[in-house]
């Protein structure tokens, strides 16, 4: 099962022959400006709190002709070195926008980060220049996206797309990068890597393309990997292989992971901690095993009963959460989950519940959080 307790310094796996040594921070370079920046970043590697990433009150809005969508509305969380954080919620609740905000890849217009801090290695990414941000992207923080079919440039060979990152961030020469590209493909389990390196994306299967995406993402040994529904589009066996590969590599490189999914089962297996998002806000957060065993928000309970679980008899039928995700442009007063909630009380219509601690390290935003149980539904009322 999971990786156990949160552990800032996860143990390195014994080296299997296929896996490579992590790369040095940065090889020799003649580029003085980049060198300078990197030195600066190393000197402020960790913030005072010691977290790798701290997101404070992040708010990202989209202005459309119909109105303003508060896609991310005051999200705060943190992540330690090497930690795996799950970000779950139904589609449209702001997971991707949160991730893209961290990367500062929100298309503007229509989107804009209107508020908040994203402190990564001690530096507020929302304040650095675009040029500095480009040095972070793909190098310190990388991202894997959902659609393996469309996420690679169709007219460039996969080798070329791998080399690109190596030449840009690690200042490798073309020859060095070519060699390394083959090693990376080999590392992510592409058979006959030396020959496949000249292939174009359409010549690979979906799973292989996602392996290439992982190779690109891990090529510069990032400190943080954001996997946005990276396996959702794949079939179940391939999905498991890709997740295992990501787990192996990130553990070996000491990379922290934000794993975005609408599948709590995936999170329970791979994440140390979980944030449950609904309508642009984090509604529950805590250790993965804790959330799984003892959910305190009705939405989390709903998500759990909509995926197969090992600890529930297989004949118990899966129940999707009734109703739909509310329109983010026109959210109701009070708790945004109210219309779909089996526990709702009068107060829920008036006040939006704040995220409050239930037990140390486990918080939920629900007025009735102390009544909520995993397997008891409204009947418990």
Residues found near ligand SF4 in the complex (CB under 6 A): 298, 335, 337-338, 341, 343-344, 348, 353, 366-368
CA atoms within 13 A on the CB side of 46: 9
Q: Which residues, at least 6 apart from 321, have a Cβ–Cβ distance to it below 8 Å?
A: 90, 299, 302, 303, 306, 340
CA atoms within 13 A on the CB side of 220: 27
Burial class of residue 48 in the structure, from the number of CB atoms within 10 Å of its CB (0-12 exposed, 13-18 middle, 19+ buried) = exposed
Return the one option of ligand SF4, other proteins, ligand ADP, none that residue 266 interacts with (CB less than 5 to 8 A, by type): none
Name the residue nearer to ligand ADP (CB basis): 62 or 120. Answer: 62
- Would you report the helix, strand and coil content of the chain in percent, each value rounded to 5? 30, 20, 50
Site map (CB under 6 A) of ligand ADP, residues 317-336, x = contact: -----------x--------
Answer for the pair 193, 159: CB distance below 8 angstroms, yes or no: no
Name the residue nearer to ligand SF4 (CB basis): 131 or 376. Answer: 376
Return the one option of Mg ion, ligand SF4, ligand ADP, none that residue 141 interacts with (CB less than 5 to 8 A, by type): none
Does 301 sit near ligand ADP (CB under 6 A)?
no
Return the one option of Mg ion, ligand SF4, other proteins, none that residue 278 interacts with (CB less than 5 to 8 A, by type): none
Name the residue nearer to ligand ADP (CB basis): 86 or 94. Answer: 94
Return the one option of Mg ion, other proteins, ligand SF4, none that residue 344 interacts with (CB less than 5 to 8 A, by type): ligand SF4
Give residue 35's Cα distance to chain centre. 29
Return the one option of Mg ion, ligand SF4, other proteins, none that residue 367 interacts with (CB less than 5 to 8 A, by type): ligand SF4
Return the one option of other proteins, Mg ion, ligand ADP, none that residue 3 interacts with (CB less than 5 to 8 A, by type): none
The full DSSP string for 16-56 is: PTTSPPPPPS------HHHHHHHHHHHHT-S-TT--SEEEE
DSSP H or E run through 183 = helix 174-187
How far apart are CB 78 and ligand ADP at their closest, in Å? 20
Return the one option of other proteins, ligand SF4, ligand ADP, none that residue 89 interacts with (CB less than 5 to 8 A, by type): ligand ADP
Return the one option of Mg ion, ligand ADP, ligand SF4, none that residue 335 interacts with (CB less than 5 to 8 A, by type): ligand SF4
Rg (CA), the chain: 21
Does 89 sit near ligand ADP (CB under 6 A)?
yes
SS3 of residue 154 by DSSP: coil
Contact footprint for Mg ion (CB under 5 A):
96
**111-120 sheet: strands from edge to edge:** 67-79, 53-64, 111-120, 123-124
Answer for the pair 230, 246: CB distance below 8 angstroms, yes or no: yes
Q: Which of 12, 33, 49, 91 binds ligand ADP (CB under 6 A)?
A: 91
Q: Which of 14, 17, 107, 360 binds ligand ADP (CB under 6 A)?
A: 107
How far apart are CB 351 and Mg ion at their closest, in Å? 29
Site map (CB under 6 A) of ligand ADP, residues 45-84, x = contact: -----------------x-x----x-x-------------
Q: Which residues, at least 6 apart from 31, have a Cβ–Cβ distance to it below 8 Å?
A: 171
How far apart are CB 160 and ligand ADP at their closest, in Å? 28
204 DSSP 8-state letter: S
Residues near other proteins (CB under 8 A) are: 103, 105, 109, 133-139, 142-143, 145, 147, 150-157, 164-165, 168-169, 200, 202, 213, 216
């Amino acid at each position: 099962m999971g990786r156990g307790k949160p552990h800032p310094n996860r143990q390195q796996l014994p080296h299997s022959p296929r896996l490579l040594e992590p790369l040095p921070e940065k090889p020799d370079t003649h580029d003085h400006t980049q060198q300078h920046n990197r030195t600066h970043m190393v000197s402020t590697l960790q913030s005072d709190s010691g977290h790798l990433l701290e997101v404070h009150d992040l708010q990202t809005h989209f202005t459309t002709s119909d109105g303003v969508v508060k896609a991310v509305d005051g999200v705060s969380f943190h992540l330690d070195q090497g930690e795996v954080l799950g970000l779950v919620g139904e589609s449209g609740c702001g997971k991707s926008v949160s991730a893209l905000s961290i990367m500062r890849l929100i298309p503007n217009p229509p989107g804009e980060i209107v508020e908040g801090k994203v402190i990564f290695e001690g530096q507020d990414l929302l304040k650095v220049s675009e040029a500095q941000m480009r040095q972070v992207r793909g190098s310190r923080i990388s991202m894997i996206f959902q659609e393996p079919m469309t996420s690679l440039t169709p007219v460039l060979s996969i080798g070329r797309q791998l080399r690109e990152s190596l030449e840009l961030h690690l200042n490798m020469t073309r020859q060095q990068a070519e060699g390394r590209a083959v090693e990376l493909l080999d590392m992510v389990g592409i058979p006959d890597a030396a020959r496949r390196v000249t292939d174009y994306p359409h010549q690979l299967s979906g799973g292989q393309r996602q392996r290439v995406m992982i190779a690109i993402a891990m090529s510069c040994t990032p400190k943080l990997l954001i996997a946005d529904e990276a396996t959702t589009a794949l079939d179940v066996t391939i999905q498991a292989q890709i997740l295992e590969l990501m787990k192996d590599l990130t553990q070996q490189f000491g990379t922290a992971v934000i794993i975005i999914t609408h599948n709590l089962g995936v999170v329970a297996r791979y994440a140390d901690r979980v944030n449950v998002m609904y309508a642009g806000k984090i509604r529950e957060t805590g250790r993965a095993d804790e959330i799984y065993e003892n959910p305190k928000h009705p939405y989390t309970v709903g998500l759990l009963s909509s995926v197969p679980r090992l600890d529930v008899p297989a004949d118990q039928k899966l129940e999707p959460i009734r109703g739909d995700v509310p329109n983010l442009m026109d959210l109701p007063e009070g708790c945004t989950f109210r219309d779909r909630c089996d526990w709702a009380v009068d107060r829920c219509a008036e006040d939006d519940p704040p995220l409050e601690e239930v037990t140390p390290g486990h918080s939920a935003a629900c007025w009735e959080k102390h009544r909520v149980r995993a397997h008891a539904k409204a009947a418990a009322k």
